[in-house]
Amino acid sequence: MNVHDLNRGAIAQGARSLRSLSAPERRRGQRLRTVYRVARLFARGDTGLARVRNISDGGLMLSTTMDMCVGDPVRVDLSDSCSLSGKVAWHHGDQCGIALSAPIDSSAVLKRLFEERRAGDARPMRINHQKSVVVESELGLQVATLRDVSQSGLKLAHDGRFTAGLPVKVRLSPELERRGVVRWSQTGLAGVVLTEGLSVEELGSMRDL
């Protein structure tokens, strides 16, 4: 079952039962569920990581360093197979509220995410992003192209000399660099496992990376 199915099911069920619910029952149905989860956020042509603080059937609260305004359309990926869309309802500092485009069954969504994690299907949220980076290794300095990034690793396009096991230091920006080890390399692409992870805030906006 995908999120669109969850959306449609929640809407149909809500329409059937809304008239029979008292006001307190409706409030209980909209209760917040506190979560601490990293999500992938798309807004204003930018992409980055954000922290999900809570979720309800109608919305989310996020912590994000991304520049947004009330009314901006957004997409929030809770996993590679679970995406929600909505608009920014409020924004204050690094906190914002997202009003979903359609209600969901938040309990079912969280259960699905838990089952993905238990089955080993959950992976660190990866962001597709291309930019030139400087790589330092025993081969010297080399300019490579970042293809994607997560908190624990990078994918780089290189000149073909990287081999598995090569220690590297990657400068993602003048203020941000990380050491890692090439885990695999083939046809000019290499996967690097970082020895020190990147924070959600450091990956909060690809525009600022």
pLDDT per residue rounded down to tens, the chain (209 residues) = 444 444 444 333 333 333 333 334 334 445 578 888 999 999 999 999 999 999 999 999 999 999 999 999 999 999 988 999 999 999 999 999 999 999 999 999 999 888 888 887 667 899 999 999 999 999 999 999 999 999 999 999 999 999 999 999 999 999 999 999 999 999 999 999 999 999 999 999 999 98
Provide the number of structural domains found in the chain. Answer: 2
Please name which of 167, 154, 162 lies closest in space to residue 198, comparing C-alpha atoms.
154
By the 8 A CB rule, do 75 and 96 touch?
Answer: no
Decide if 195 contacts 167 (C-beta within 8 A): no
> Does 188 share its domain with 144?
yes
Compute the Cα dihedral for 182, 119, 99, 24 and give only its sign.
negative
CATH number of the domain to which 149 belongs = 2.40.10.220
60, 13 contact by CB (below 8 A): no
Is residue 64 within 8 Å of residue 96, measured between CB atoms?
A: yes
Domain boundary among 84, 101, 118: 118
Both tokens assigned to 38: 């990293």
Residue located via tokens 């996020």? 62
pTM of the predicted model as reported, rounded to 2 decimal places: 0.81
For residue range 43-89, what is the model confidence (pLDDT) as tens digits? 999 999 999 999 999 999 999 999 999 999 999 999 988 999 999 99
Regarding beta strands 95-100 and 59-63, do their DSSP bridges make them parallel or antiparallel, or are they unpaired? antiparallel
Q: Do 140 and 96 share a structural domain?
A: no
Q: Same domain for 88 and 113?
A: yes
